[in-house]
Amino acid sequence: MPDDNSSVSYVTELKSLPDQIATAIRESIVSGALAVDARLPNEAELAAQFGVSRPTVREALKRLAAKNLIRSRRGVSGGNFVTLPSSEQVRSDLSTTATLLVSHKVFSLAEVAESRRLLETTCARLAAERRTTDHLAALGEALERQARPDLSDEEFCDADVAFHRVIVQAAGNPVLDYVMVFALEALHPSTNLVINRFRQRSDVLALQQVLLDAVASGDPDAAEAAIHAQMDHLSGIYNEAQEWVEARRVEREDGHGRTTD
């Protein structure tokens, strides 16, 4: 038999009944046993199926609704139905997760930048081959907006990310699209706002224009080279920004803002 300490550890690792039920239903949804738009059994039926009370089932359903795996509908034909998270919800969740992981230094900026370089070069090559007139128009509009002199730093960053989102969309691969949400959002807004003091907007716009021209001309090699040029430029800016942040930290620790000799 396990000793008392191991018994306590085992008990604390057990999921609550609502969590167990939510997990079981979630697995049925993920496996396809429960199809999208399928109606779940009612609370009484689920309570009997799992051998628990209706309030326990209700708590499990709340957990599934919070993850956007089910939706409820009132009325005679109502109930709980299997659903899928919307594209906007998935993007929002990925963006939030990416920002948190970078902010808490789970991923370093260097690691994210390296991943972005690898992924976005692929996207740029595909975009040069697959872009439509609508994509080119959207890229032009994003670049025009980014060139506006009245934009705040935050608005300039938003326009920058919007331009690159169109590049990813033009690649025509929805899996890459979702993956690149993470890679782009992990560097925005926290890092972009920091590096604004170290970069010239004219340099950013010139590099964007080179990328747009490469995609518009249908030249994958030129599009890839344009991404590498952008990431080389960003890497230098990141290094300068990180050195500045570290210097400010040392100053604060040394004398509450007094500069060391």
**What string of DSSP letters covers 110-138?**
HHHHHHHHHHHHHHHHHHHHH--HHHHHH
For residues 235 and 144, the model is more confident at 144
Per-residue pLDDT reduced to its tens digit, 38-97:
999 999 999 999 999 999 999 999 999 988 899 998 877 889 999 987 777 777 777 778
Alpha-carbon 158 to chain mean position: 14
Tokens at residue 69, please? 């795996």
Q: What is the CA radius of gyration of the chain?
A: 25
pLDDT at 2 over 80: no
Is the C-alpha dihedral spanning 21, 26, 32, 36 positive or negative?
A: positive
Maximum distance among all Cα pairs of the chain, rounded to whole angstroms = 78
* Proportion of the chain above pLDDT 90, given as a percent: 49
Query: Within a 10 A sphere around the Cβ of 46, how many other Cβ atoms?
Result: 21
The answer to whether 167 and 120 have CB atoms below 8 angstroms apart is yes
The pLDDT score that the predictor gives to residue 12 is 38
pLDDT at 211 over 90: yes
Query: Within a 10 A sphere around the Cβ of 239, how many other Cβ atoms?
Result: 13
The pLDDT score that the predictor gives to residue 253 is 79
Tokens at residue 177, please? 């699209």
Strand locations in the chain, DSSP E? Answer: 70-73, 79-82
CA distance 124 to 94: 21
Best CA proximity match to 125, nearest among 226, 210, 220:
220
Prediction pTM value: 0.70
Q: Out of 61-65, 160-164, 190-194, pick the least confident.
A: 190-194
The pLDDT score that the predictor gives to residue 27 is 93
pLDDT band at 4 (very low <50, low <70, confident <90, very high): very low
Per-residue pLDDT reduced to its tens digit, 81-122:
999 877 777 777 777 787 777 777 787 777 878 888 999 999
